Structure 1
Amino acid sequence: MKRFLLYLLLVIEGGTTLAQDKFTISGYLTDSRNGEKLIGATIMTPENQKGTVTNQYGFFSLTLPPGNYHFSCRYIGYYPQSITIPLFGDTIITVELETNLTIDEVEVIGRKVNQTLNQLSTLSYGTIDLAQLKKAPVILGEQDLLKGLQYLPGVKQGRENTAAFHVRGGSNDQNLILLDGAPVYNVNHMFGFFSVFNNDALNHVAFYKAGIPARYGGRLASVLDISMKEGNLKQKGGIISISPISGRLTYETPIVKDKSSLIISGRRTWLDIPLRLLLKLQESDQNYGYFFYDLNAKLNWKINDKNRIYLSSYNGKDEQFFRSVEDDMRTRFNYNWGNLTSVLRWNTILSQKIFANVSFYYSQYKLDEQTITSTELSRSIFLSQSKMKDVSIKTDIDYYLLPDYKIKFGGSLSSQLFYPGFSHSKTTEGQITFNDQERNKLKNVRIYAENQVTLGAVSFNAGLAVSGSKTGTKTYIQIEPRLALSYQVTPDLSLYTSYGQFSQNLHLLSNSSLGLPTDLWVASTEHTKPQTGNQYALGLKKEITTVYSFAAEMYYKSMNNLIRFDEGAIFLSTKRMNWEDNILIGKGKSYGIEFDLRKNTGRLSGSFSYTLAWSKRQFDQLNRGRWFNYKYDRRHDLSVLCEYKLKSNRSTRSRSLNVGFTLQSGNKLSLPEVEHEALVPFHMDYAFRPEDRDEFSTVSSYANPNQFKMPMFHHLDVAYNIHVKKGKARGYEWNFSLYNIYNRMNPWFYYKSQGTVKQVSVFPFIPSVGFTYRW
């Protein structure tokens, strides 16, 4: 395969060969402590003001005329490093930068120079500062990446304190979430209250809301690209973290110093342990509880200066269980769901200007429910299962044709298998199976190309992706043009615009915003077409001073072939119904404007953001075919996240006060307007005993979808952080958080009882503490 790639690329390069008086310097920028690649770091030469940025694997390439050059290497939070290299031939180097998180001047320069994607505004694209995220106020001591995202403009949570997020009027299934390049399909633990991502195992997080490059496909709203740590190539080390509900342990070690390494990171809740002990002490005939766990692992092997192999895996699971013994009857119930991902990746430098990444991944989401009841004379088993599998191979190639012109292209081939809802019941009298025929297979091939160009004050990324998917006897072809363009009006003012066309072959069947395990992924079929969408964005960024920056961006998004349950329907409301019998197909649109003001340095730093937005849906069978507000149509959204660094009389100790505030318009929801009695439908009569078939049941009528608006949602959170260094690598951190400090009882959901709408609130004022030790 490597010979084939070399042949293909040399043919391309042959037609555009540069003059022989130029040479290329390429290589990696890494962290001097552990060898981790620095993604988005800059390397520039003041002699001719040429420079480049490391890609998502830490690689860079720069072609220059021969001569002696001084290169300046920079990355936010690290000391800048200058190196002198006589460039009279192609050269491969690795530059190690030393971290220094305490010098503001480094942060200022890094932010000004580190234009990772200068075609995109900071409101379309951004990287998540994991170190800053760990200082933010949290609930129950659990740092959560997806909840940190919800402070960004245009990103809204589902219900209070849930990990599900909605971007610019889209639904949560329209977000592509990648872990080391593999999609994660259920990102929720504890029924949506926490996400599956363990921050201690993460290295880099990139987030796109607009201007999404052509290399990303399969979703309409956003891309969250998460990279795991690679493992320390220099020395052994680890992290222990404890919160009121869980414990985390991360261990890194070189297998062969500077050659190969291993990282293992695990997290588990202990909510079930005290309950188990109590029931055992009481000699109870029952045993029940709930827990979840995550396990991340990654192996990193540097074969030589040009080739590296990575093997990473994630396994996470939630489990709810119940055991009981009553008289002669034994009951055993298990309800569990979880993800499994595995990625094998090969990075290779094919030439000084060509970098290739080839990866193979496997991703699975699975839900199991099992109930076993037995006596001395009988035994019954009920098994319900839903799962999906995704297997893919893909290739991405970076070709640094000129210092100001980079081509990126590649493709993927994937196969997805869906089991939306399989149920099996077995007793001593016989057995029956429901919905076994519901399984569906989707095959997809996708190719793309991007052109990243800088022409003076103008830079752009013009790309095109073409995908073909086959489901059953139907084949869908999608062509997706992408464009992101920026114009540097003055040194401190930039204008941005972007356009993207997107398609999505997957649909999420859900009855709520909780991210429940009963949410099911299904594929497009002969009757249910892929979702499609278009997004336009226009924005600006102004560097007010070296300390303050301001950004604003407008957007408009249209969406087609959206699906939703009919009002009052639930998934597979009868075992004889196909999921397509319960859905409606329609379209949507969203538009708005986002503002973001940031103070980047000093003892007080942070961001203030505001979004004014509209999101609407239209279905021919609902609301007389008229447009209506989407349930997450939150007109106003204001977020504040800031940090104040307290003075300390010791250089080995730092303290900070962090504040987070959120204010949003309330969600919309559908409440039944009329409830009446009706005969049991004929097709459901099997679900009732013969003597009950003529009885009446209650039927709800929903005339106007999302007609009820919840009150304004807001809360103020405060955190006090202490960081103490005990050596070069050792130290510990305390996080004391106060959630909802003024005890605002925000509505979590509403229900209607006897004609009265009633509110349920879940999260009052909650204090918590978290502790982390590093060595």
Structure 2
Amino acid sequence: MKLNLLPLLCSGLLCLAVNLLQAQQTSAFDLSITGAYQERALPEILSDLESRYPVKFYYIPERIPFYPITIEFKGQPFYQVMKKLLEGSLLTFTKWSPNEMVLVPEDQRNRAFVEGMIKKWKAGEWQAPVLSSIAEKSFTFGSANSALTGGKLSIKGQIQDDESNEPILGATVLVRETGQGEVSDEKGNFQLKLAPGKYTLQITYISYQSQLNYVSLYADGELPVRLISMPQQLNEVLIKAQAVEKGAQSTNMGIERLSAKSLNELPTLMGEADVIKSLQTLPGVTNAGEGVAGFNVRGGNIDQNLIMQDDAPLFNSAHALGFFSIFNADAVDQISLYKGHIPAQYGGRLSSVLDVQLKDGNMRKWTGKGSIGFIASRMVLEGPIKKDKLSILIGGRQSYLGPTLSQSTSITIKDSKAAFSDAVLKLAWRVNAKNTFRLTGFTSGDEFRYAQDFGYNWQNYQLTAQWNRVHSDHFFTKLHASYGAYRAEQTDPGGNDAFTLSNGLNNLKVKLDNVLSAGEKHALRFGAEASQYYARPEAIRPLSDISVFLPEQVQKDNGRELALYVQDEITFSDRIAVSLGTRWSRYQNLGPRVVWYYAEGQSRENLTVRDSAQFAAGEVITSYGGLEPRASLKLGFSDNASFKMSYNRLRQYIHLTSNTVAPTPVDVWQASNLYIPPQIADQYSVGWFLDEPNKKWETSVELYYKKILNVLEYKDLPELILNQRLETEILAGRGHAYGGEFSIRKVQGKLTGWFSYTYARSLVKVEGPSAEETVNAGRWYPANFDKPHQVNLISRLQINPTNSFTFNFTYSTGRPISIPVSSYRLGSGAYANFSDRNQYRIPDYHRLDIAWTVDNRQTRLKGIRGSFTASVYNVYGRANPFSIFFRRNEKGRPSAYQLAVVGAAIPAVAYNFTF
């Protein structure tokens, strides 16, 4: 198939020329701003900027916020200054003319409204407000002449909303002179004990105008407080909270976070923003190659990652055999990857936890987002069913790979089929100030067929319910219940061996999570969790009357997992903090199942079977469990530098069985049983974290060591499909992984990004009671995902508010493989003699991607606002080898050949839009 790049090139040059012409016009966006403001209101700051720079601001005087802002700029670009000033407000800014800026609410951003605003300003109907940055009031209780001496007086009050009269929970009352503080309770009440005198009480609460109350206190008094609403965006507050979790200040280590915005800024394959591919730009996160599902963290297998969406587990996170993930980028709110210290509320996997949280629907207005790309389009629509009470979010994605394949000149490819889709629906019901219910439904699926040779199809189904309860400003509860189902099929559609092979797994999960803040020193988290795994039988059925296959079904193992956990975040001071916790888990292997017993002292083989037993449905066959302690420590040497260390013990009771490095959809999830014990890991980590004082640069170095028991390995050439005695092919080994991760990030300025280098080793040793149950004569050998060196360089150049370029370079060592080192003949047959397991490597992997984004959301006032991204994946067209295979050449001698899944540069165009 030929791709005509001329129209794309011409349109790109035209856009570039237009932007260059616009750049020749001097505008406010070209300014570099310097200034420092201490508790100044936004109108005062805007007025000061107007007096010092050639810029004019227009806004709605009644809607401009008056909360105090303390901020400093040193030669920062104008658009970055404006974004920082408007954080936490419901305002956005746009350019009316080169030197005229308009601040408008997001829901009133249209040309007619802005024209009316400017007309009122120029006619003198509107002008800058003269209110103080903080509302000020004075109160006197008693008389100075009659004041008590030597005792304390009581001042109490109730904080209410000025319009609705509803009490405000969690408002802060601070006595500036003494530093004493109090927080209002669920009825808005507060009480302070103070000596007689004059005080300044500052009362603040998110999304309300702050108040200064000058109190002359000479007798007990009651202070009426009515706060005026000044709306702020809660999602901006969440972004600030995330920043606390990273760098030198946080207690935890090995936590990576990505925002939904960052997904669309990275260069992507065929223009499709992708959660999993974005994670692979982070230190310590790799995969086996292009076209491989899942990801590997610190040398672990793909099944050692707990992947959750809205707290419900997922068992397949990939579309199109691993090229894309199942997550809709426009529906995602927050992505957290735990790979170092894993908090006690998470369990069941050894390497990492990927926590993907979906957005709640907008409670105030209807909005939409979407993307049109080369191979798929997606759409998310959200809004209120009942304003401020009930919201809905609906999202979907559909590929159109079929028409693309049909354009191929290859008959084989034209006869192939590929399609994927996913859909999500989420309801959020804010019952009252203390209770919120959420209901999420999700489905995703794939269908792939290569001509008439073979095909796969699979589906994910997920239903999640969650209740959040705020008992008080110190106590919070979350109750979660979810059901998930995974179905997979492999099909051979033609010939006398036509068949369908299927398997699946159902999962039920219930979790109670509590958070209790005990003063400023302790943040206690405790709860309980229960999961049940129902495995569908592995089954094969013929697809024609002439098929050589007969119907067959193999029962798989069921399991139940129970856990209790507690964790305390203890803050001794600004410099010393500790996180201590433990998780107790218990696993039970359940019937119905036939269990085979083997001759004692002999290897497990079909010939050594001595007896069997039938266990009924729900009957406990065997059980495992124990404590899983977790701890981390932060020692701060300054506000910008800290040393951290952590320890985790983790258990994994469910495993993915696959005898290939690239898992397929029909690989089976196997629950632990009498012969397959849980994997157990102990991980130790230490790290040094340094932030530049002005927060432009963040640097970290982390070292880790992980010891693993009962690593799943296999005998040579194992039979894993339709095997009633799978334990005869599986071996339990030992493993250890160790390495270091270095990362440096630039988080401010026109040029941002990060560089990371990871050194990681993952080794396995299998030493059984017999030669058949021993690998490589009992010596240590590299695990399938042992890739010692990994380099990532991500940079983003913001040319102006509209144009940006992103560059992504990645390098990694080739993965281990076993190869035939010689051959021999026996009778008329030729046989290969293979090397020891994983003693060779495929060539190293490296790739460069580039993306150019034109974002008009700050300059367009009407219609659909969006961004256009042109990207090139694999710029210099490297044919990175996925695997090595051997066959005889034209001279009859065995030769090695490389298989590359992507061997050329792939251009793509995507349009992301918002309305």
TM over 0.5, shorter chain: yes
User: In the alignment, which residue of structure 1 is the partner of 2:514?
Assistant: 397
Contact 1:506 1:522 in 2 (8 A): yes
Residues 186 and 236 of structure 1, relative CA distance in 2, 3 Å threshold: same
1:159-205 Cα deviation digits (max 9, x unpaired): 13645211111111101111000011111111111111111110111
Aligned letter for 1:569? P
List aligned pairs for 1:408-447, cutoff 5 A.
Answer: 408-419=525-536, 421-425=538-542, 436-447=553-564
User: In the alignment, which residue of structure 1 is the partner of 2:677?
Assistant: 529
User: In the alignment, which residue of structure 2 is the partner of 1:362?
Assistant: 483
Contact 1:62 1:400 in 2 (8 A): no
Instruction: State the identity as a percent.
Output: 28
2:915 is equivalent to residue 768 of structure 1: no
- Structure number with greater CO (CA < 8 Å, separation at least 6) is 1
List aligned pairs for 1:213-224, cutoff 5 A.
Answer: 213-224=343-354
Shift of 1:401: 1.6
Q: Select which of 880, 887, 910 maps to 1:746.
A: 880
1:232-251 Cα deviation digits (max 9, x unpaired): 11111112211111111111
Which whole-Å CA distance do the structure 1 matches of 2:717 and 2:430 have between them?
A: 56
Gaps of 5+ in 1: 1-28, 36-41, 53-58, 74-79, 325-331, 648-652, 680-695
List aligned pairs for 1:361-510, cutoff 5 A.
Answer: 361-369=482-490, 382-419=499-536, 421-425=538-542, 436-456=553-573, 457-472=575-590, 473-510=621-658
User: In the alignment, which residue of structure 1 is the partner of 2:287?
Assistant: 157
User: In the alignment, which residue of structure 2 is the partner of 1:584?
Assistant: 731
SS at match of 1:199: coil
Q: Select which of 383, 408, 414 maps to 1:253.
A: 383
Which whole-Å CA distance do the structure 1 matches of 2:826 and 2:229 have between them?
A: 74
Q: Select which of 695, 701, 707 maps to 1:552.
A: 701
Contact 2:499 2:547 in 1 (8 A): no
Residues 618 and 724 of structure 1, relative CA distance in 2, 3 Å threshold: same
User: In the alignment, which residue of structure 2 is the partner of 1:302?
Assistant: 430
User: In the alignment, which residue of structure 2 is the partner of 1:174?
Assistant: 304
State the number of aligned residues: 685
Contact 1:396 1:409 in 2 (8 A): yes
Residues 359 and 773 of structure 1, relative CA distance in 2, 3 Å threshold: same
Contact 1:559 1:587 in 2 (8 A): yes
Aligned letter for 2:791? L
Residues 323 and 600 of structure 1, relative CA distance in 2, 3 Å threshold: closer
User: In the alignment, which residue of structure 1 is the partner of 2:7?
Assistant: none
Contact 2:755 2:793 in 1 (8 A): yes
2:490 is equivalent to residue 351 of structure 1: no
Aligned letter for 1:221? S
Q: Select which of 681, 688, 710 maps to 1:561.
A: 710
Residues 475 and 94 of structure 1, relative CA distance in 2, 3 Å threshold: farther
Report which of the two has the higher share of strand.
Answer: 1
Shift of 1:30: 9.0
Which whole-Å CA distance do the structure 1 matches of 2:826 and 2:209 have between them?
A: 80
Which whole-Å CA distance do the structure 2 matches of 1:50 and 1:669 have between them?
A: 65
Aligned letter for 2:469? T
SS at match of 2:276: helix
User: In the alignment, which residue of structure 1 is the partner of 2:168?
Assistant: none
2:755 is equivalent to residue 624 of structure 1: no
Contact 1:143 1:199 in 2 (8 A): yes
SS at match of 2:757: strand
Aligned letter for 2:911? F
Contact 2:760 2:789 in 1 (8 A): yes
User: In the alignment, which residue of structure 1 is the partner of 2:758?
Assistant: 611
2:684 is equivalent to residue 541 of structure 1: no
Which whole-Å CA distance do the structure 2 matches of 1:773 and 1:146 have between them?
A: 22
Gaps of 5+ in 2: 1-86, 91-104, 108-170, 194-199, 214-221, 591-620, 768-773, 889-893
User: In the alignment, which residue of structure 2 is the partner of 1:317?
Assistant: 445
Aligned letter for 2:458? W
Contact 1:605 1:642 in 2 (8 A): yes
Contact 2:254 2:340 in 1 (8 A): yes
TM-score (norm 1): 0.80
List aligned pairs for 1:335-350, cutoff 5 A.
Answer: 335-350=456-471
Residues 51 and 112 of structure 1, relative CA distance in 2, 3 Å threshold: farther
List aligned pairs for 1:55-74, cutoff 5 A.
Answer: 68-71=201-204
User: In the alignment, which residue of structure 2 is the partner of 1:21?
Assistant: none
Contact 2:539 2:553 in 1 (8 A): yes
Which whole-Å CA distance do the structure 2 matches of 1:751 and 1:475 have between them?
A: 42
Shift of 1:699: 5.3
Aligned-pair Cα RMSD in Å: 3.9
Q: Select which of 370, 376, 380 maps to 1:240.
A: 370
Which whole-Å CA distance do the structure 1 matches of 2:481 and 2:257 have between them?
A: 25
User: In the alignment, which residue of structure 2 is the partner of 1:759?
Assistant: 898
Q: Select which of 683, 688, 706 maps to 2:838.
A: 706
Aligned letter for 1:313? G
Which whole-Å CA distance do the structure 2 matches of 1:446 and 1:208 have between them?
A: 19
TM-score (norm 2): 0.68
SS at match of 1:140: helix
SS at match of 2:855: strand
Residues 372 and 538 of structure 1, relative CA distance in 2, 3 Å threshold: closer
SS at match of 1:511: coil
Which whole-Å CA distance do the structure 1 matches of 2:404 and 2:647 have between them?
A: 54
Contact 1:147 1:162 in 2 (8 A): no
Which whole-Å CA distance do the structure 1 matches of 2:487 and 2:501 have between them?
A: 11
Which whole-Å CA distance do the structure 2 matches of 1:581 and 1:400 have between them?
A: 51
SS at match of 1:644: strand
2:869 is equivalent to residue 735 of structure 1: yes
List aligned pairs for 1:621-700, cutoff 5 A.
Answer: 621-647=774-800, 654-675=802-823, 700=832
Residues 147 and 459 of structure 1, relative CA distance in 2, 3 Å threshold: same
Which whole-Å CA distance do the structure 1 matches of 2:466 and 2:228 have between them?
A: 22
Aligned letter for 2:462? T
Contact 2:701 2:740 in 1 (8 A): yes
Aligned letter for 1:582? E
Aligned letter for 1:186? N
2:232 is equivalent to residue 97 of structure 1: yes
Shift of 1:350: 2.3
Residues 83 and 404 of structure 1, relative CA distance in 2, 3 Å threshold: farther
Contact 2:347 2:650 in 1 (8 A): yes
Contact 1:407 1:449 in 2 (8 A): yes
Which whole-Å CA distance do the structure 1 matches of 2:642 and 2:438 have between them?
A: 38
Contact 2:490 2:501 in 1 (8 A): yes
Residues 64 and 116 of structure 1, relative CA distance in 2, 3 Å threshold: farther
Shift of 1:767: 1.2
Which whole-Å CA distance do the structure 1 matches of 2:780 and 2:469 have between them?
A: 51
Shift of 1:431: 11
Contact 2:317 2:325 in 1 (8 A): yes
Residues 34 and 391 of structure 1, relative CA distance in 2, 3 Å threshold: farther
SS at match of 1:412: strand
Larger of the two Rg values belongs to structure: 2
Which whole-Å CA distance do the structure 2 matches of 1:258 and 1:161 have between them?
A: 44
Aligned letter for 1:294? D
Contact 1:200 1:250 in 2 (8 A): yes
Shift of 1:697: 6.8
Residues 45 and 499 of structure 1, relative CA distance in 2, 3 Å threshold: farther
1:479-520 Cα deviation digits (max 9, x unpaired): 100011111111111111100000000111123343421222
1:550-599 Cα deviation digits (max 9, x unpaired): 11111100111111232333522xx5553322222211111111111111
Contact 1:159 1:513 in 2 (8 A): no
Contact 1:347 1:358 in 2 (8 A): yes
